[in-house]
Structure 1
Amino acid sequence: MKIDAHQHFWQYNPEKHAWIEDHMSTIRQDFLPKDLKPLLDKAGVEGTVAVQADESFDENTFLLQLAKENSFIKKVVGWVDLRSLSLEKSLEEYSTNPSMAGFRMILQGQPPALMDDISFRNGMAKLKNYGYTYDILVFPHHLRATLDLVSHFPDQPFVIDHLAKPYIKDGKIDEWASWMKKIASFDNVHCKVSGMVTEANWKSWTSAELNPYIEVVLEAFGAERLMFGSDWPVQLLAAEYQQYHDLLSDYISSLSAVEQANIMGNNAAKFYGIQ
């Protein structure tokens, strides 16, 4: 099964989606299943994982309802505050909904030290009791803290979103690559090959510019721990859905059929528990 392991939905609200700044005005609109489904069909993608774009319980309710109404939305990655005193109650409530696969907090906007906070770590320790995954959304300057985090939770399934957003536009790769290789040494950590085009120059990126970053994570994580993800509709700032799908498909075309199938869907199905 071909699966897009990372995409979003929203009904645009200027306050809720204040992160969509003026230079991103092209995505200041609603993006719903009816908008994505034709793109998936064209690319032969059979299912998706819908990931939170707003840190609220209302966002979880919204995404879980969309998953209930649209069979192609196979799983949801929602939001909880791992530091909350009511975390256990929330996890118990969501455990009754089979569409909820895991959670993430938007750590990219937080200081790296948050991942070392005792309340954050105590919350992280609870996830495995419910079989939940955790998506790590960070920038390269968070990777030292990310390494420390994953090393303390070897039984927790982690996946790094968007290759940890390397500084592609600036051509920086060496330090990022070093940290990613260290993180990949923990076999409970996966990586989504998603969101790359928006870390490059939106108007002038080339596959030759992106390929070295794919090469790093392919070497580090192997074909068994990489996942295709589009980051639609955010990716529309720099590329159409089919364009990004084909970019990754072309890069991995020299791999075996099994390895290609793993990256394009099987790994995500196993990680998120998609049947």
Structure 2
Amino acid sequence: MTVVDAHHHLWGADQGYTWLDQPSLAPIRRTFGPDDLAAAVEGTGVARTVLVEGGRCDTAEAALLLGHAKDSPLIAGVVAWADPADPALADTLAGYRALPGGERLVGIRSQVQGEKDPGYLDRADVRRGLRTVAAAGLPFDLVVRADQLAAAARLAGELPEVRFVLDHLGKPPIAAGASETWRGALHALAALRNVTAKLSGLVTEADWSTWTVGDLAPFVAVAVDAFGPERLMFGSDWPVCLLAAPYGRVKQALADALPPLSATERADVFGGTALRTYDLRP
């Protein structure tokens, strides 16, 4: 089994990640590079990773991330930022692929979770851009809040030609222990076969100081029931996860939170789904 971490970040402290200015994020307000990643995964069995844009929201970041992938044998793919509503999106994607490391481009993401317009995912220009992403042979990562899951399901249902990847299970309210509204919305999204999901970012949706595997397990069970192991993938969300737990504990917590699965099903969650979804090549 090739173990894949399908979701992590790298950033520089001086590279414009202004969201890190929040006081609560002081522990991760520093540079994290490929050497730090290699040290974090050592001893965990992780052999390949997917590097995801970190919320800087500009096209210049793609060159940095693809450069990391080019130079690191650990990073198998990059999910870069792009604005779906940009009329020049096709040119942007072509430009990414022409960069050093451009062959490692495996997906696109934008910060939908930060959009205040409840109709953002229904906009014609956004949907046109998502079709452009699909035409380029790439999936689109959906980083959305729990209250945006219904709009995401409507979107995926009306764009069956686009492959979507739900990040962080749509940010369930783990700390509050309330799951009913989220559960229904997640099942509606999971009913669409063009959607896969990441078991990522869960420890930071729980109480950072007191969370246990028991807090995560009910939400993980809902995801397994909704998507099945063949459409779920492990993601560490490192280094954001460091706010609540070190890398190895995050991976082990997911392994412990999963309901009983066959060896093949666990292999899907910890590698197979990511390899297929992002078409990760040797």
TM-score bin, normalised by smaller chain = over 0.9
What secondary structure, in the 3-state scheme, does the structure 1 residue paired with 2:77 have? strand
Distance 1:126 1:85 in 2: 10
Gaps of 5+ in 2: none
- Number of the residue aligned with 1:99: 104
Equivalent-residue separation in structure 1 for 2:153 and 2:36 (angstroms): 37
1: CA distance, partners of 2:185 / 2:72: 38
- Deviation sequence 1:231-266 (CA, Å, 0-9, x none): 000000001101010011123373111111110011
CA distance, structure 1, for counterparts of residue 131 and residue 185 of structure 2: 23
Over 4 Å off, 4+ runs: none
1:89 equivalent among 88, 91, 111: 91
Gaps of 5+ in 1: none
Does structure 2 retain, via aligned residues, the 8 Å contact 1:253–1:260? Answer: no
Q: Residues 1-275 of structure 1: matches in 2 within 5 Å?
A: 1-13=2-14, 15-53=16-54, 54-96=56-98, 97-111=102-116, 112-252=118-258, 254-275=260-281
C-alpha displacement of 1:209: 1.0
Give the distance between the partners of 2:94 and 2:239, measured in 1 at CA.
Answer: 31
- How many residues matched? 275
TM-score by length of 1: 0.97
Code of the aligned partner of 2:119? A
Q: For 2:241, what is the secondary structure of its paired residue?
A: helix
CA RMSD in angstroms comes to 1.3
> How many Å separate the matches in 2 of 1:245 and 1:16?
26
Q: Which stretch of the first structure deviates more once superposed, 12-21 or 1-10?
A: 12-21
Shift of 1:20: 4.2
CA offsets, 1:218-240, max 9 Å, x none?
00000100000000000000011
Is the CA contact (8 Å cut-off) linking 2:20 and 2:26 kept in structure 1? no
Cα distance in 2 between the residues matched to 1:146 and 1:20: 29
Aligned amino acid, residue 254 of structure 1: P
Distance 1:64 1:246, change over 3 A: same
Matched residues, percent identical?
36
Q: Output the amino acid matched with 2:280.
A: I
State how far apart, in whole Å, the 2-side matches of 1:17 and 1:7 are: 18
Q: Tell me how far apart the structure 1 counterparts of residues 221 and 21 of structure 2 sit (CA, whole Å).
A: 30
Aligned CA distance change for structure 1 residues 15 and 73 (closer, same or farther; 3 Å) = closer
CA distance in 2 between counterparts of 1:117 and 1:57 reads 22
Distance 2:153 2:3 in 1: 30
Distance 1:110 1:127 in 2: 19
Matched position secondary structure for 1:64 = helix
Distance 2:237 2:40 in 1: 13
Q: Give how far 1:268 is off.
A: 0.2
Query: In structure 2, the residue corresponding to 1:172 is in which secondary structure?
Result: coil
